[in-house]
Amino acid sequence: MSNGKSQEGRGPLMLDNRGVWVYVEQNEGVIEGVSLELLGAGRKLADKLEVPLAGILLGDNVRELAEEIIFYGADEVYVVESPVLKQYRTESYMKGVILLAEKYKPEIFLYGATPNGKDVASAVATDLSTGLTADTTMLDVEVEKRLLEASRPAFGGNIMATILCKKHRPQMATVRPKVMKALERDTARTGRVIEESLEIREEDMRTKVLEIVKDVTKKSLADAHIIVCGGKGMGDERNFGLIHELAGLLGAGVGGTRDVVEAGWLSHDHQIGQTGETVTPKIYFAIGISGAIQHLVGMKNSEIIIAINKDPNAPIFGVSTYGIVGDALEVLPILIKQFKEAFHEKGGEVTHA
Amino acid sequence: MPEKFDVIVVGAGPAGTSCAYTCAKNGLKVLQIERGEYPGSKNVMGGVLYRKQMEEVIPEFWKEAPLERPVIEQRIWMMDKESTVTFGYKGLEWAQEPYNNFTVLRAKFDQWFAGKGVEAGVLLINETVANECIVEDGKVVGIRTDRPDGDVYADVTVLADGVNSLLGKQLGFHKEFRPDEVALTVMEVINLSKDKINERFNLSENQGCTIEIFGDSTKGNLGTAFIYTNKESVNIGVGTTLSSMIKARMKPYDLLDYLKTHPMVKPLIEGGEAAEYLAHLIPEGGYHSVPKVAGNGVLVVGDAAQLVNAIHREGSNMAMASGKMAAETIVEAKKKGDFSLDTLKEYKDKLYNSFIIKDLKKYKDATHTFENNPQFLRDYVPMLNRAASKFFTVDGTSKKDKQKQIIKTMTSERGTIKLIKDVYKAWKAVK
Amino acid sequence: MHIVVCVKQVPDTKIIKINPKTNTLDRRSAPAILNPYDAHAVQTAVSIKEAAGGEISVLSMGPPQAVDIIKKSVEIGADRGYLITDRAFAGADTLATSYALSKALDRISKEKPIDLIICGKHAIDGDTGQVGPGIARRLDIPPVTNVIEVSDINKDTRRVKIKRKIINGYELIETEMPCLLTVEKEINDIAYSPLPNMIKAARYTPIIWAVSDLEDVDRTQLGLKGSPTIVGKMFTPPKPEGGHMLDGNADDQAKQIIDILLQNKELFSVN
């Protein structure tokens, strides 16, 4: 079954590759937020290495997005357009990306850690026989050796691991959404657009996309302005009801830590952290959460973080804007009562804006 | 068509595994069913493994079993609120082969032991609950598990399903326990560095120590507390009969908390981190509580047969010995091709002729004696402490006078006649 | 239908503890388990087998003890299992892992052609999700990641319809067999295994292969040698400064939170 492809990319180690690339994910002509964030992060790396930053754009009739990519920080945009690229498919997108990478040889190549971003990156890394670091949350470069330092929380622990790819190029990483900061859109920026064409016919495609269904009923946690998140410190499933109650009053989303989801108190789509959602709401309540890195990476960029925990040394207080050292089971009922008084006394219902 | 085995063993604790292992070693086709995620996951034991009975199942097991430390010192504390009188023995002959006993972590040890069974040919199935025995024509012919297509048959079914043996109850072998027949033991594993353990318990490398505590550890309730040293952790626990707990309106965890903060105990475990908390029922009924242990196609072993010596805190050794005896009986029955009570009652005879029942018989009244005479722990332990304090305090009184004073206090506190009666009662109970 | 499920042995993260002083894993108390996503992958194969017939093989790479997760897979309903284990595989990153597994799949497909390969979305000890797509690439078959439903399998046309999770929804795609799926947990519930499966698994001895049992293997692509990525360093991130601690009793503290909420009233609308 082997196609023998895996050997091709090896041979020369391509250490003379230059340039920082960002895979720009667009869906139906809209650029995903994580791609803009990566242009911001990539800009810093490119400046340190004194190389251009390029955006990689694939799709059907997407050329006009190239300008946007430049406004958000790119010096160059490589565009591949084709009708077979109308919807994402590993087969066609991978071929487009490999074509560009083999021809223009970047040294660093970043992808958003979305389903499609991870999918294409994994395939590309296999063909280019290069290293790919998954779900990174910190990026830096060691300029002298031109090494990408891609860091991510190590399994389970309160510790980060920096992954290096010393002898293979490009150095690739997928990056968690909502961790990096996008630059301000600057329409004064200019850049170069390079177009390439892909020779694939629809008849040769093995995979067809029959239907795309946007699930609008299911409001994503990522869109909530306020999130109330509870941890194992809530004790048991019944006490966790207090989290639901407070969230209900605030019109907030409910989140839980990995422990809570594994204990079955919440379904997986409410999990916040490295293996769940990354969220950046305006107000984030962290209740009964000690603050393992695995959780912190999923919420620390929230605007206001209010933490309640018994242990004054809990790491959650390190990232919190306001902290309360106390028993959540004591504080929450009082908070709920006071909230009802403060808002409902005015005779109205609280609804979410 | 459900499969048929020679033997089904329900439970993978020391009794069940000792039985399953011995049967498999003798060429029988054995299925062993464990309800936990793995053997040991549901087991709690003070953590002392007796060498002799284990050795009879697996010779020289200490060369490969996951043991913590060989016990070279056994201490007994008679503890009062701010003092303790210590008896004990430390012997270096216990620090070398063949050893005397060991501290173990059950989760590790039981898994290893069950693994030996699997090596010997036992088919071990975890996460499966035996809901009932299948009984046909007055004979146990197999079990019904909680799984789909869950029936399975055997010539002999061995119940090693623990103190609260549901299958034993289903067969009418067991009655519900009286609260004074069951002790509740709560314990914690406290992580502590090797150096700290060696220093605090006065041990050298790879030496272990056990402390059994009477008196204030149980707030005068009937029961004992214990501290055992593992490699890098300490087991601390306390057990008392349900009935005394009900009488004293105590919760088991309160008792453990009380023990951990007791000034005699606290320095030993200070700075340690509690890693696990476990609670477990232990049959304490002794000789009076042993149920029917054999029937047509069925045998009962270990805790399920209430084989625990409450006074000496032995359980796993009896479990293993009984498991082995059951296996030997089954092997003989297989040769005869008869699995009726007539043949299987041989197990009962073995049991009653062994140290197990003899010991249980010897101490058969001990529990009740102590239960009905709380003064043994409540009054005499403090008295003993006061006596020791007086004796060892240097205050210019001669030793002879001190002894006089001590006797005088004791007799005046409880009265001479009563005291003599109590001593006689206690002596009778444990002689 | 011949379905192969790739499975991995991982430490049980529910039980695993972190030593707070060294920040490393305390593996003493962590038993190894079948990666939960892979259990769902095996269950997916069982459902397909029930509907379309065929047989299920599982494949794992790992230490010799990983036979346990193959047995676990047999409990769920796999017919047989292969473990590739060899010192030469040690230290593999995702690239070297997909290479080794693809070589084992080559051998399995020679014994019996493969129609479908199923993997879990990712392993809970690495969370990368890169091995599945890597295998598909090496075998040059279509990958379908983040699968939440296998809607239709047509054995005659050899095409399958699959629902795949994407940002804010899902897509229904059709592809040809053989293909490789990576499944989400929500694709199914693991059924409680029947007793005969449990007995079969307890008896089962997995097939074990070393590197020398595989054909056309370029040893430089295996294990540590074949892994372009290495762990450069481990570090505890600099402690953020932290915020303002709210004092007083629970009443005072709750009041201060209400004040914070009032300052951000734009987030609510009070009718």
The enclosing domain of A309 has a CATH number of 3.40.50.1220
A140 and A78 belong to one structural domain:
yes
The sheet carrying A138-142 orders its strands as A138-142, A147-153, A160-165, C229-235
* pLDDT given at position B284: 62
Q: For residue A349, tell me if it sits in a domain.
A: no
Q: How far is CA A237 from CA A311, A328, B371, C14, C252, in A?
A: 21, 14, 40, 17, 27
Q: Which residue in B38, B123, B275 is closest to C199 by CB distance?
A: B123
* pLDDT given at position B303: 84
Last residue of a domain, one of A201, A229, A249: A201
Domain interval for residue C188:
2-221
Percent of chain A whose predicted confidence (pLDDT) is above 70: 91
CA distance A71 to chain C (A): 24
Q: Does B152 touch chain C (CB under 8 A)?
A: yes
A65 and A168 belong to one structural domain:
yes
The enclosing domain of C55 has a CATH number of 3.40.50.620
A21 and A143 belong to one structural domain:
yes
With beta carbons under 8 A apart, name residues in chain C contacting A93.
Answer: none
* Amino acid in the structure at residue B165: S
Domain interval for residue A130:
5-201
Q: For residue C234, tell me if it sits in a domain.
A: no
In terms of Cβ atoms closer than 10 Å to its own Cβ (0-12, 13-18, 19+), residue B249 is: exposed
3-state SS of C23-86 is CEEEHHHCCEEECHHHHHHHHHHHHHHHHHCCEEEEEEECCHHHHHHHHHHHHHCCCEEEEECC
CA distance A188 to chain C (A): 31
Contact C17 B31 (CB under 8 A): no
* pLDDT given at position B386: 82
Closest-CA residue in chain A for C36? A262
Contact C203 B31 (CB under 8 A): no
Which residue, among C198, C203, C205, would best test binding to B if mutated, counting the most B CBs under 10 Å from its CB? C198
A192 and A120 belong to one structural domain:
yes
Contact B147 C195 (CB under 8 A): yes
With beta carbons under 8 A apart, name residues in chain A contacting C175.
Answer: 206-208
Answer whether residue B365 shows pLDDT above 70: no
* pLDDT given at position B367: 55
Percent of chain B whose predicted confidence (pLDDT) is above 90: 42
Q: For residue C227, tell me if it sits in a domain.
A: no
Contact B148 C17 (CB under 8 A): no
Longest dimension (CA), chain A: 74
Token code pair at residue B310: 């409450």
Answer whether residue B430 shows pLDDT above 60: no
Q: What is the mean pLDDT of residues B409-422?
A: 68
* pLDDT given at position A162: 94
Contact A306 C260 (CB under 8 A): yes
A307 and A195 belong to one structural domain:
no
Set out the domains of chain B in order of their start, with CATH numbers.
4-67+104-175+291-353 (3.50.50.60), 179-283 (3.30.9.10), 367-430 (no CATH)
- For residue B240, list its beta bridge partners: B184, B223
Closest-CA residue in chain A for C108? A1
Q: Does A82 touch chain C (CB under 8 A)?
A: no
Q: What is the mean pLDDT of residues B152-159?
A: 97
Contact C194 B149 (CB under 8 A): yes
Q: Does A248 touch chain C (CB under 8 A)?
A: no
Q: Which of residues 36-55 of A touch C (CB under 8 A)?
A: none
Average pLDDT over chain B reads: 84
* Amino acid in the structure at residue B18: S
Q: What is the mean pLDDT of residues B189-218?
A: 89
Cβ pairs bridging A and C (under 8 Å): 301
Q: For residue A209, tell me if it sits in a domain.
A: no
* Amino acid in the structure at residue C42: V
Q: For residue A319, tell me if it sits in a domain.
A: yes
Query: Which residues of chain C are at the B interface, by a Cβ-Cβ cutoff of 8 Å?
Result: 17, 29, 31, 192-196, 198-199, 202-203
Distance CA B224, CA B9 (A): 32
Contact A127 C133 (CB under 8 A): no
Contact C168 A325 (CB under 8 A): no
Give the DSSP per-residue string, B261-280.
TSTTTHHHHTT-EEEEEEEE
Question: Which other chains touch chain C, taking contact as 3+ CB pairs less than 8 Å apart?
Answer: A, B
Radius of gyration of chain B (CA): 23
Question: Which other chains touch chain B, taking contact as 3+ CB pairs less than 8 Å apart?
Answer: C
User: In 3D, which of B276, B277, B213 has the Cα closest to residue B240?
Assistant: B213
The sheet carrying C116-120 orders its strands as A208-214, C169-176, C159-166, C143-154, C179-183, C116-120, C2-7, C55-61, C80-84, C207-209
With beta carbons under 8 A apart, name residues in chain B contacting C198.
Answer: 125, 128, 147
Peptide bond into B98 cis (omega under 30): yes
A233 and A195 belong to one structural domain:
no
Q: What is the mean pLDDT of residues C129-140?
A: 96
Answer whether residue C270 shows pLDDT above 50: no
* pLDDT given at position A348: 44
With beta carbons under 8 A apart, name residues in chain B contacting C192.
Answer: 147-148
Closest-CA residue in chain C for A94? C137
Q: For residue A207, tell me if it sits in a domain.
A: no
Which residue, among C130, C146, C172, would best test binding to A if mutated, counting the most A CBs under 10 Å from its CB? C130
Distance CA B305, CA B163 (A): 7
pLDDT tens digits along C74-85? 999 999 999 999
pLDDT band at C158 (very low <50, low <70, confident <90, very high): very high
Q: Which residue in C29, C192, C202 is closest to B123 by CB distance?
A: C202
Which residue, among C107, C167, C181, would best test binding to A if mutated, counting the most A CBs under 10 Å from its CB? C167
Answer whether residue B188 shows pLDDT above 90: no
Asked whether B428 and B373 are in contact (CB, 8 A), the reply is no
The enclosing domain of A180 has a CATH number of 3.40.50.620
Q: For residue A352, tell me if it sits in a domain.
A: no
pLDDT band at B249 (very low <50, low <70, confident <90, very high): confident
Total domains present in chain A = 2
CA distance C70 to chain B (A): 15
Q: For residue A105, tell me if it sits in a domain.
A: yes
pLDDT band at C271 (very low <50, low <70, confident <90, very high): very low
A187 and A41 belong to one structural domain:
yes
Angle at CA of residue B90, ends B88 and B93, nearest 5°: 145
Distance CA B221, CA A299 (A): 51
Last residue of a domain, one of A168, A201, A234: A201
Q: Which residue in C29, C195, C202 is closest to B145 by CB distance?
A: C195
A41 and A183 belong to one structural domain:
yes
* pLDDT given at position A8: 43
* pLDDT given at position C24: 54
* pLDDT given at position B405: 77
Which residue, among C261, C262, C265, would best test binding to A if mutated, counting the most A CBs under 10 Å from its CB? C261
Residues of chain A below pLDDT 70? 1-14, 155-158, 216-219, 344-353
Distance CA A311, CA C119 (A): 40
A234 and A190 belong to one structural domain:
no
Q: Does B128 touch chain C (CB under 8 A)?
A: yes
A188 and A295 belong to one structural domain:
no
Q: Which of residues 32-61 of B touch C (CB under 8 A)?
A: 37-38
* pLDDT given at position C47: 96
With beta carbons under 8 A apart, name residues in chain C contacting A154.
Answer: 234
Q: For residue A65, tell me if it sits in a domain.
A: yes
* pLDDT given at position A11: 41
A22 and A148 belong to one structural domain:
yes
Q: Which residue in C17, C195, C202 is closest to B150 by CB distance?
A: C195
* pLDDT given at position C210: 97
Closest-CA residue in chain C for A273? C127
Residue B90's φ and ψ, nearest 5 degrees, are -125, 130
Contact A133 C228 (CB under 8 A): no
A273 and A332 belong to one structural domain:
yes
Contact C258 A335 (CB under 8 A): yes
Q: What is the mean pLDDT of residues B208-232?
A: 82
Cβ pairs bridging B and C (under 8 Å): 35
* pLDDT given at position B387: 80
With beta carbons under 8 A apart, name residues in chain C contacting A264.
Answer: none
Contact B148 C194 (CB under 8 A): yes
Q: For residue C217, tell me if it sits in a domain.
A: yes
Q: For residue A211, tell me if it sits in a domain.
A: no
* pLDDT given at position A193: 97
* pLDDT given at position B369: 55
Distance CA B97, CA A198 (A): 76
Q: Report the SS3 class of residue A327.
A: coil
Total domains present in chain C = 1
Closest-CA residue in chain C for B105? C29
Which residue, among A122, A275, A284, would best test binding to C if mutated, counting the most C CBs under 10 Å from its CB? A122
* pLDDT given at position B409: 72
Which of A215-219, B58-62, B317-321 has the least mean pLDDT? A215-219
Residue B262's φ and ψ, nearest 5 degrees, are -65, 135
Contact C18 A158 (CB under 8 A): yes
